[in-house]
Amino acid sequence: MERLSVEPRLAAILAANVVGYSKLTGADDETTLEIFMPCRSEIRGQATAGS
């Protein structure tokens, strides 16, 4: 079996995350946003710290 390069693997991970996020949002959008927003803030903080 051929090994995938990093980019296709990251694309697969991202696609799986989008599907999971969509399912969570569809089930309970308010709770999903409560969980997501602190993570988003953390990621943004790390991104701006690295620039």
Q: Is the pLDDT of residue 8 over 80?
A: yes
Question: In this predicted structure, what is the pLDDT of residue 46?
Answer: 76
Q: Is the pLDDT of residue 4 over 80?
A: no
Average pLDDT over residues 28-39: 85
pTM of the model: 0.40
Question: In this predicted structure, what is the pLDDT of residue 50?
Answer: 67
Q: Is the distance from CB of 10 to CB of 2 less than 8 angstroms? A: no
> What CA–CA distance (Å, rounded) separates 21 from 15?
10
- Phi, psi torsion values for 31, nearest 5 degrees: -70, -40
Q: Is the pLDDT of residue 20 over 70?
A: yes
> What CA–CA distance (Å, rounded) separates 7 from 41?
25
